[in-house]
């Protein structure tokens, strides 16, 4: 059996000579899961130049002056998707001052007394790339996420806008092209008390936001109604082919959303979708992306009576594009469990390769950033992870994470607290080496 501790030590030694911005990095002798057209290379090499993947293949030559890492056969994957999350928006759920992902203040009302909706609300300006939650997840192999506004029961079911961020430590982590509107139709408390009233109000909001011939005419629309002028402008942008994530579970609601999207020009992404397997053929025909949680099988509501563990496998078998994510309130803090979700999908019939793609290339494609991240291909950013075993096995850990070809410190606030307060080593070995 390969001694992964010795391998980790060898990699650390090689990285000790790596400059802050390496001109070239050469990863040699890895099992490369590209999540792209090349599939899996049983023995492959990756060349990185100035943070970008320059070559992928077997028996490549190391560029002159490159830092060389011998992976010794370890699996290499793209950086993983952290799911629909609030990483960088929420630090401690119980401390309201650190929760920045919802429009939670009382909403103003129109002249007719109806609550104003705020599709113009965008969580991206609140993103903090130095949040202590990010290193905790990044050292587990997660390198990007779709930031998602939270749905509050007393607020609108149009929860607002989000985008895609890379955990590269830069002050502006937002990626161009990731703009997304979120609409949560799972709870009827925010929509007049019934599903029928939700569709009625959504139709009204769309009619209010229908693009006017000119900005002057848009400004001349009545000041009262469901939307503010800024809200009309925001929603109207998504009526011209914009990406909209709809949270729905019942099969019938999924069909309604597909119909609505076709009618109004939305680019639909269906999330939660516990009953999606029932309408898999319609989803495939509509070329819709579905985001599911493969651990979801016990219904927590009547809407989720169709939940089953092989939902992801059935959808993929039908030709549906599948992305894996969590949806519960603790999904942000448990984002690193994304590998467990993918492994569970495999255990319930999904192909291993499809499960990996569902947490790498497929979310990058669904959110408009696949030309830059999500796969190990020439021209992509070198966001890479070396693993000491099967990446979808919960007993496996990340040996080293690279972002833009730079080795990320495999430390976080949690590991520092552990090393500071953990009792001195006794007869039983530590699970992790000291300092990692």
The per-residue pLDDT for range 141-166, each reduced to its tens digit, is 999 999 999 887 656 889 999 999 99
CA separation for the pair 286, 268 (Å, rounded): 9
As a whole-number percent, the residues of the chain with pLDDT over 90 amount to 68
Q: Is the pTM of this model over 0.75?
A: yes
Question: Sorting pLDDT into bands at 50, 70 and 90, what band is 206?
Answer: very high
State residue 353's pLDDT score: 98
Comma-separated ranges of CATH 3.20.20.140 domains in the chain: 80-366
- Using an 8 Å Cβ cutoff, are 379 and 53 in contact? yes
Query: 4-78+381-421 in CATH: which number?
Result: 2.30.40.10
Comma-separated ranges of CATH 2.30.40.10 domains in the chain: 4-78+381-421
Q: What is the largest CA-CA distance in the chain?
A: 77
Fold of 80-366: TIM Barrel (3.20.20)
State residue 300's pLDDT score: 87
pLDDT at 426 over 80: no
Average pLDDT, integer, range 65-73 = 96
C-alpha count within 13 angstroms, C-beta hemisphere, residue 18: 26
Question: Sorting pLDDT into bands at 50, 70 and 90, what band is 20?
Answer: very low
Q: Which of 368, 359, 384 is nearest to 163 (CA)?
A: 368
pLDDT at 218 over 80: no
CA separation for the pair 342, 322 (Å, rounded): 11
């Amino acid at each position: 059996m390969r001694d992964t501790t010795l391998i980790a030590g060898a990699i650390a030694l090689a990285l000790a000579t790596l400059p802050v911005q390496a001109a070239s990095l050469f990863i040699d002798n890895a099992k490369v899961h590209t999540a792209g057209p090349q599939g899996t290379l049983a023995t492959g090499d990756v060349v990185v130049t100035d943070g970008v993947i320059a070559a992928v293949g077997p028996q490549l030559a190391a560029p002159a002056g490159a830092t060389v890492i011998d992976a010794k056969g370890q699996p290499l994957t793209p950086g993983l998707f952290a799911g629909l999350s609030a990483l960088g928006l929420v630090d401690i759920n119980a401390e309201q001052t650190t929760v920045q992902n919802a429009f939670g203040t009382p909403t103003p009302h129109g002249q007719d007394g109806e609550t104003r909706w705020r599709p113009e609300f965008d969580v991206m300006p609140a993103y903090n790339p130095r949040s202590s939650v990010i290193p905790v997840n990044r050292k587990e192999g997660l390198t990007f996420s779709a930031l998602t506004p939270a749905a509050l029961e007393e607020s609108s079911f149009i929860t607002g806008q989000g985008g895609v961020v890379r955990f590269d430590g830069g002050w502006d982590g937002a990626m161009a092209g990731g703009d997304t509107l979120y609409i949560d139709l799972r709870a009827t408390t925010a929509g007049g008390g019934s599903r029928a009233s939700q569709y009625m109000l959504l139709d009204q909001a769309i009619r209010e936001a229908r693009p006017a011939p000119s900005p002057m005419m848009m400004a001349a629309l009545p000041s009262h109604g469901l939307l503010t002028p800024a809200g009309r402008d925001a929603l109207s942008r998504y009526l011209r082919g914009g990406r909209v994530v709809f949270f729905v579970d019942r099969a019938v609601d999924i069909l309604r959303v597909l119909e609505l999207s076709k009618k109004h020009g939305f680019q639909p992404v269906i999330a939660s979708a516990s009953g999606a397997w029932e309408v898999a053929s319609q989803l495939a025909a509509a070329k819709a992306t579905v985001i599911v949680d493969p651990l979801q099988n016990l219904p927590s509501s009547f809407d989720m009576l169709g939940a089953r563990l092989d939902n992801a496998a059935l959808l993929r078998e039908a030709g549906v594009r599948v992305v894996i994510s969590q949806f519960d309130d603790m999904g942000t803090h448990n984002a690193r469990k994304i590998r467990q979700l993918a492994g569970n999908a495999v255990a319930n019939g999904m192909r291993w390769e499809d499960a990996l793609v569902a947490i790498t290339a497929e979310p990058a494609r669904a959110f408009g950033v696949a030309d830059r991240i999500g796969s190990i291909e020439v021209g992509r950013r070198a966001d890479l992870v070396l693993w000491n075993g099967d990446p979808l096995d919960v007993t496996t850990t990340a040996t080293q994470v690279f972002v833009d070809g730079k080795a990320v410190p495999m430390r976080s606030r949690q590991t520092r607290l552990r090393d500071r307060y953990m009792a001195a080593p006794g007869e039983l070995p530590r699970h992790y080496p000291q300092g990692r």
